[in-house]
Each structure stands twice: as structure tokens, then as C-alpha cells.
């Protein structure tokens, strides 16, 4: 018998030859273990992310080995590093090009709050221009912290309703960023 563990099935009704559960639980399960991250790495946090992707820490264990360098195919935008104000519109454009459902992970002090760059030329946190789901603190965060942040995203994905984009809260959130 192999010691490979397979993820547990969501709660549901099981009988001889059938298993019934709600579709959003199944979709959430499937989505959370096949997230395609888009690495938006601008500085040293990107180096930590490379370590996270490499075999020692191996983000592939979480179903995220397929990095998507096109925002149109990505589910998760990982913003890692200082975002200057001139980069801001580029980041926003990348976010707008992503298809729903989409999540954003902000890694490191600079992306979360501006970090040490309390200056006129640096965006004081990417949440000034796009909504963020999970913040990872640290300067830079260790790969374990990145994995923890990624697992928080997975938890969000699993527990979300099937069409988050239709909920009034989500539309209100996007409207507050000027995204329709």
C-alpha cells in the first residue's frame, strides 16, 4: 500500500455506487489543487519565490507547479516585491486581464504596505489599486511563509461560493477599486 495521501472528499451523501455533494464544494476542491499562479516578481521576494518553486520546498506539491505567464490563463496573481507608482498601472492591467475567478496574494512588506520605501515614488501597498486576498508579512518572507499564504488561498478557494463574482459584496469591492 502506498503512503501517498489523497485529499478527503467533501462532506456529502454516500451510498452504494454513488456519492452526492454540492457542486461548489467539488469545484472549490478542484480549483484549490490546480491553481495557476502568475508570478509578478519585481525584487528580492521573487528570489524567495524561486526557492519556493524549486524542489526543496516544492510548491508543486500544492498543485501549483504550472506557472502561467499570461494573465488570461492565471487564477492567482502573486505580487512579490516593491511596486513603484509607475508600475502600478501595469499591475492593474495584469489584474484586469485575469479571468474570474481570480485571487491575489501580496507577498512581503513592500507589496503589502510599501515596506521600507516610504517615498513618493513607491505604491504604499498594492491594495491601493487592486483588491488583495492574502497578505504574507516578512522582508522577505521565508518559503514556509509563502507556502502558508498559498494554503490560505487554497482555503479561500475551497470555501468560496461557486460564482463569487455575482455576489453583491464582491461587486461592491471591485466597484470601490473602479473595476466594474
Partner 1 sequence: MGKITNEELLNSIKAKFEADITEISEPFGLLTFEAGREKIIELLTFLKTDPALQFIYLTDITGIHYPEREKPIGVIYHLHSLVNNVRVCIKVFLADGDVHIPTATVLWNGANWMERETYDFFGVLFDGHPDLRRILNVDDMTVFPMRKEYPLEDPNRVDKRDYFFGR
Question: Interface residues with partner 1 (CB under 8 A)?
Answer: 85-86, 88, 113-114, 118-122, 124, 128
Q: How far is the CB of 30 from partner 1 (least distance, A)?
A: 37
Residue 28 or 115: the one with the smaller Cβ distance to partner 1 is 115
Distances in Å between the Cα of 157 and the Cα atoms of 42, 116, 123, 152 are: 26, 31, 27, 9
Residue 32 or 113: the one with the smaller Cβ distance to partner 1 is 113
Q: How far is the CB of 118 from partner 1 (least distance, A)?
A: 5
Residue 59 sits at φ, ψ, to 5 deg, of -65, -15
Secondary structure class of 20 (helix, strand, coil): strand
Our measurement of the distance from residue 87's CA atom to the centroid of its chain's CA atoms, rounded to an integer in Å, reads 19
Secondary structure class of 55 (helix, strand, coil): coil
- For residues 150 and 152, give the distance between their C-alpha atoms in angstroms, rounded to a whole number: 5
* Residue 141 DSSP symbol: P
Q: How far is the CB of 174 from partner 1 (least distance, A)?
A: 20
Our measurement of the distance from residue 122's CA atom to the centroid of its chain's CA atoms, rounded to an integer in Å, reads 22
Q: CA end-to-end span of the chain, whole Å?
A: 52
Residue 43 or 84: the one with the smaller Cβ distance to partner 1 is 84
Q: How far is the CB of 117 from partner 1 (least distance, A)?
A: 9
Residue 38 or 45: the one with the smaller Cβ distance to partner 1 is 45
Q: How far is the CB of 21 from partner 1 (least distance, A)?
A: 42
Residue 8 or 118: the one with the smaller Cβ distance to partner 1 is 118
Four-point Cα dihedral 94, 167, 164, 154, nearest 10: 100
Amino acid at each position: 500500500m502506498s503512503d501517498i495521501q489523497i485529499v478527503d472528499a467533501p462532506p456529502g451523501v454516500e451510498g452504494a455506487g454513488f456519492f452526492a455533494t454540492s457542486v461548489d464544494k467539488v469545484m472549490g476542491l478542484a480549483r484549490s489543487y490546480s491553481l495557476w499562479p502568475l508570478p509578478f516578481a519585481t525584487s528580492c521576494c521573487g528570489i524567495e519565490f524561486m526557492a519556493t518553486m524549486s524542489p526543496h520546498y516544492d510548491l508543486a506539491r500544492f498543485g501549483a507547479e504550472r506557472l502561467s505567464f499570461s494573465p488570461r490563463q492565471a487564477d492567482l496573481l502573486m505580487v512579490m516585491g516593491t511596486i513603484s507608482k509607475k508600475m502600478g498601472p501595469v499591475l492593474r492591467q495584469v489584474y484586469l486581464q485575469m479571468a474570474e475567478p481570480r485571487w491575489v496574494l501580496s507577498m512581503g512588506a513592500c507589496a503589502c504596505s510599501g515596506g521600507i520605501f516610504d517615498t513618493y515614488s513607491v505604491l504604499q501597498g498594492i491594495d491601493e489599486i487592486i483588491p488583495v486576498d492574502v497578505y504574507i508579512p516578512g522582508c522577505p518572507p521565508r518559503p514556509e511563509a509563502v507556502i502558508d499564504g498559498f494554503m490560505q488561498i487554497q482555503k479561500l478557494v475551497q470555501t468560496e461560493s461557486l460564482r463569487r463574482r455575482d455576489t453583491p459584496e464582491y461587486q461592491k469591492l471591485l466597484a470601490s477599486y473602479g473595476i466594474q
